[in-house]
Structures are given as structure tokens and as C-alpha cells.
Amino acid sequence: MMVFTGNSNPELSSKIVDHLGISLGKIKAERFSDGEVHVELLENVRGRDVFVVQSTCTPTNDNLMELLIIVDALYRASAGRITAVIPYYGYARQDRRVRSRRVPISAKLVADMIVTAHVDRVLTIDLHAEQVQGFFDLPVDNIYASMVLEEDLRSKELTTDSRLLVVSPDIGGVVRARALAKSLGDHTDLAIIDKRRPEPNKAEVMNIIGQVEGRHCVLIDDLIDTGGTLCNAAAALKERGALSVCAYATHAVFSGNALKNIENSVIDEVVVTDTIPLSEAARKCSKIRQLSVAGLLAKTILRINRDDSVSSLFEEA
């Protein structure tokens, strides 16, 4: 087994190999002066089981092209099996044509590009839409960061408090929120925020389904982009009498005015994972805390390498 990393998230890659007890594969991934990606493998990969860790986060297109070119280099160097480990899969939100508007299904296009590059398997975390797995003509392991987030939440005394309330920030996240509430115990209730999205990256809270007064609210989502939905939801919950509001999300996209929105909001804490590296400004934000999914990815990589079941990892949890 060999693990290589692109330039999108080398810190996470280093943590993964530390868990596995191996060293990162030697690779040179650079840019020519005109911006073209240049890759050179610095060790033999012939017949090896190879994993390439690369999140397609900002700069999204650069990181995507780097992933494809690294994979092509591995394929032409006769790697035995190539698994693309994409902790954050960009373009996943563009997964359908809404009301037959003249728009692309970019999640499918990107999947086709990855398949064409001769990837044998994809490992990712918390796809925005699970049906994106079906866009690939190869095996996809979509694992969940919920076990990492839940472990952190359980470390707080709130999980034994009957006033704890799990909140879904929209109708689409109900399944995720319900699963967390069920896992935390029968005393944990669920609330849902009904929102309207007049245009991309903008959301308005319409109604809150559930009793939030006097409750400690935990918002759960797969990603935080501009933070508008999160901050509006927190404000609505506090206005209706919530004692506290914290948020847990897997992917810290944090685009646009996200950090400013979070810093100026009434939310008490935002907990994210390291599928996307935090900027220096995000690291300094007093309301943001980061957890690592390196251990989870390492366990999954080891199971894939041994041809063991990945789903059983979560069944055991």
C-alpha cells in the first residue's frame, strides 16, 4: 500500500499516514509558469495498491486537474490499483437539472473525468447528495464523518440533558439530523427549519418545525459555504428562545463572507472537520473549532487495501 498526496490538503494526508504507520509516497506536483500542472513520481509504483488524497476544494479546478494528472501518472507507471481519496468532492451540489433549466449536471461530468483518468475506486466523505455515487462507473465508498462529530458532541455534558435538540437547517438534511438524534438517545428531540432559497448562496428562514424555547440546539449539516443558512438559522432559534446554538458540519467550505458572518452571528460555536484545510483567518476565528477525520480515513483505507467491508466499520460503530 502506498499513499500519495496532492497540494490541496497535505496536512490531512500526513495525519492519515501517521495513523497507518507509513510514509507518504514521494511525488513532485508543481506548476509551470503558465499554470499547467506538472507531476513526477519519485518512486516505483508498479503493481502497488495506491491511494491519492486530494480534496477538490478551492481552488477547485486547479485541485481537480492536479488529481487527474497524478492519477494519469500512476496509471502510466503501472500502479496495480488506484483509489482516489477525495475527502471533499467539489461540484457535488450540481447534481441535477432543477425544473429542466438549461444548466449542466457538473457532478456527473466531474465523475466521468475521474473515471476516464483510470481511477479504480473512489473514497469520499459525506457527499452532498448520495445519488452522486451512481454517476461513477466504478465502486464508490461514501463514508460518514458523523461518528467523529458525534464523539465530540458526546464529550459535552449536553448529550445527557433532556433540553438537547438536534436541528436540521433545511428539509433536505432531515435524514442526517434524525440519525444523529436517534443515536444520541430517546430523550433527544428533532426540529426542522423550513427555508426558502431565492438564489444560490442565499437562504431565508420561513418557519421552524418543533419546540425550541429553553433548548440547547445543535445544528447539523454536511457543509458550510457562505454561512448564511447557518447564521440565519441560529438567529431564528435564539429569537424563539433557544438557550444556546452550536453547529456541526463536515466540510468547511467557508467562501465569500462566511467568516465575517459567523463571527458576527449569535451562534455559540461552529465545529467542522479537516476534509478542507482552514485558512489562517478561519483558524483565528474564536467560534470555529476543527476536528480531524484522518483516523476515520486511515481505517477505511486499510479496509480497502485488505479487501474488507467498509460498511461494517459503521455497523460496528
The catalytic residue positions are 195
Bond before 10 cis per omega within 30 degrees:
no
Burial of 216 (0-12, 13-18, 19+ CB in 10 A): buried
Q: In whole angstroms, give the CA distance from residue 264 to residue 251.
A: 20
CB environment 44-66: b (16+ within 10 A), e (fewer): ebeebbbbbbbbbbbebebbbbb
CA-based max dimension of the chain: 61
At 89, give phi and psi (nearest 5°): -95, 100
Helices (H), the chain: 10-20, 60-76, 106-116, 146-154, 174-184, 228-239, 258-263, 280-284, 294-305, 311-316
CA 205 to chain centre: 24
State the Cα torsion 38-72-133-51 to the nearest 10°. -80
Q: In whole angstroms, give the CA distance from residue 308 to residue 304.
A: 6
Helices (H), 226-305: 228-239, 258-263, 280-284, 294-305
